[in-house]
Structure 1
Amino acid sequence: MDKRYQVFVSSTFADLQDERSNVIQTLMEMDCIPAGMELFPALDEEQFEFIKKVIDDSDYYLLIVGGRYGSLSEKGISYTEMEYDYAIKQGIKVVALVHGSPEKLAVEKVEMDSEARQKLQIFREKVTTNRLVKFWDDAKELSGLVALSLPKTIKTYPAVGWIRGNEATDNTDLLKQLNKLRQEKDELEKQVQVLQANNTEILDLAQGEDILTISIRHNVNRGGKREKVKLEYYISWNEILKFIVPKVLQPYPERAIHANFTSYIASKYPDDFDIVSIDIIDFENIKIQLLALEYIRLLGDPMDIFWEIMPSARKKIVRSLALKRYESDLTNDE
């Protein structure tokens, strides 16, 4: 019976985006299910209660420590350390990847506040004491460290993992989850049908350079204080397609699209936007619109949805997004 293991990836965000991306990509290539802050709204005390439930559902906890301590909770402890402490308390096996030379990091990747630096040092000592730790100095090293460390951890400390619904007929809770997801998928398909019925021609649907407004929630560190801010991000459907299409030329996991799209939006903001998230409703609206435009189709089952470009739309979309020759080039050719 094949299992897929859910791995919670914990770290500070703004300074470790490349590192997180490398680790998450490696986990997906290992057929693991990555979970982390990319999937959650901006962190606060209420959202941390939800994150604890996700950690409870995870089989392993992967911690990346760089040169920042991270956003502080009301208790004066970073959310990253709170996640770590909770995972240890719950007995979840930890894979810790700690930067070996934080003093060599760029200024924007380290704590400037002396109190935060002291808290980071104490946290590093906690993580590296009486625990197997791997040290890294470059983001490119992380993929190899994960590929070596996680399989050993899985072999030494086997976890429950996730299995397909058709392989767990005696698992009542899993079947209930599967039925719920199927109902949600049916409801989504009904929404698509209604949308198509109300728009008799594809041309009536928003597309091309039409603008979609996405709600952005994020934290901003100003003067050592974390402030919650909500903004609206304006993006054209062509820009959305340019991001999504290269990934869905072959079936691609929906959860990975959501995580990568969130990172893409986050990259548009300055580093002091500590955590950026997009409203899940906006992501669902993007999916519905692309389905209605008959640009993508959904594959897999409700537990593991994949997106793929529709064969009938592949040529049209790829041509529309391909680089065009300038008029001057055409004149010179003549």
Structure 2
Amino acid sequence: MLDTRYQIFISTSGREMQPERMVLSQTLVNMGFFAWGLEYRNPLTTTLARRQIDESDYVVLLLGSQYGEQSISGASYFSLEYEYALSRAKPIVVFMHEQPESRDMHLQETHPQLKEKFLAFRKKLLHEANHIFYFKSPRDLELAVRLNMPLMVEQYMGQGWVPARQAHHLEDEINRLKSKILQLEQQLSESSIQANEVAPQDVFAFEYQIQAFQDGNFKELKRQRQMTWSQLLSILAKHFETAMPEENFGTCLNEYLNQDGLEDARQELPRAHAVAGAQINHKALFRIKK
């Protein structure tokens, strides 16, 4: 069996989670994962964080009781890393403190506005994330990681990498799979099996989130759009004229919604003059990719 190693990007809510971050990192390393991430963020580290997310197989969020360092826009770097991971269709695992209000006061947000942002983002994760696991202590966190990360690997097989000494085993496996594919294609041709496909004119409805700007403020909206499969294919075809990773599906569609989502936003905010940060629902994205 190949000794595949997977890369995990760790994003934490704030410096108050440093002890838990150490437990998380050490546990992942002991399980054979490669764990990395940025403990201290600023505008200069954003590009590095995104590159690390791009190169990772999984993204792990560790949420405690603080909103975390804020970017120039007022959004925390923690939330921005989450949004970027979503846009790259990365499997996301959330380890969340079960009772943040029970933690020591010096570990909680004291500023009302930051506390409101923290609660709003926690609620957002509870609504959107598919894989959330709770902990109350570092020991709880370690057990949750050991129990659930292997299940994530089974459900979302990452690209990973294998040591050079095992590369020839991988090449043999590739050749075996190629032979199996040729065999199945031959069987398919002989039996004249036709796959059920959607028609180009069929309508596909999906939800997406987008930030709309009006009167000097911005609001995050959840909108629904209906498009034919032919329209979706036309959008994607412009970006996939040359070979590109499958993860680029989400990026292409989000860019399109950023350019075309203003009218959708104006249904709720009639005076909206600009939109940004579009994020297609990850379940809809999975359906499109299938």
TM-score by length of 2: 0.55
User: In structure 2, what is the equivalent of residue 151 of structure 1?
Assistant: 150
Distance 1:55 1:126 in 2: 20
Tell me by how many angstroms 1:88 deviates: 1.1
Which amino acid is the alignment partner of residue 155 of structure 1?
A: E
- RMSD over aligned Cα, in angstroms? 1.7
Residue 46 of structure 1, CA deviation = 2.5
In structure 2, distance between residues paired with 1:84 and 1:93: 11
Amino acid at match of 2:11: S
Equivalent residue of 1:16, what SS?
helix
Structure 2 CA distance, aligned partners of 1:13 and 1:102?
13
Task: Write the distance in 1 (CA, Å) between the matches of 2:161 and 2:74.
Answer: 35
Q: Please, which runs of 5 or more residues in structure 1 have no aligned partner?
A: 172-334
TM-score normalised by structure 1 residue count: 0.48
CA shift for structure 1 position 14: 1.9
Q: Which digits, 9 at most, give the CA deviation of each residue in 1:1-23, with x for residues without a partner?
A: 21111111110342011101111
Q: Is the 8 A contact 1:95 1:149 kept in 2?
A: no
**2:34 — aligned with what?**
33
Conserved 8 A contact 2:69-2:76: yes
Asked if residue 47 in structure 1 is aligned to residue 45 in structure 2, the reply is yes
CA contact (8 A) 1:70 1:80 kept: yes
**1:111 alignment counterpart:** 109
Q: 1:88 matched to which residue of 2?
A: 86
Indicate yes or no: 2:137 matched with 1:138: yes
| Aligned positions, number | 168
Aligned equivalents of 1:47 and 1:165: distance in 2? 31
Give the Å deviation of 1:100: 1.2
Q: Structure 1 residues 13, 122: closer, same or farther in 2, change over 3 A?
A: closer
Matched residue, 1:3: 4
Query: Aligned residue for 1:120?
Result: 118
Cα distance in 2 for residues equivalent to 1:139 and 1:112: 23
2:133 aligns to what SS in structure 1? Answer: strand
Gaps of 5+ in 2: 171-290
Q: Secondary structure at the match of 1:140?
A: helix
> Deviating runs (4+, > 4 A) in structure 1?
none
Deviation at 1:37, TM superposition (A): 1.5
State the AA in 2 paired with 1:59.
Answer: D
Residue 169 (structure 1) shift = 6.7
Measure, in 2, the Cα distance between the counterparts of 1:2 and 1:154: 13
* Preserved contact between residue 134 and residue 141 of structure 2 (Cα < 8 Å): no
Distance in 1 between the 2:131 and 2:163 partners?
A: 32
Identity of aligned residues (%): 29
Contact 1:62 1:94 in 2 (8 A): yes
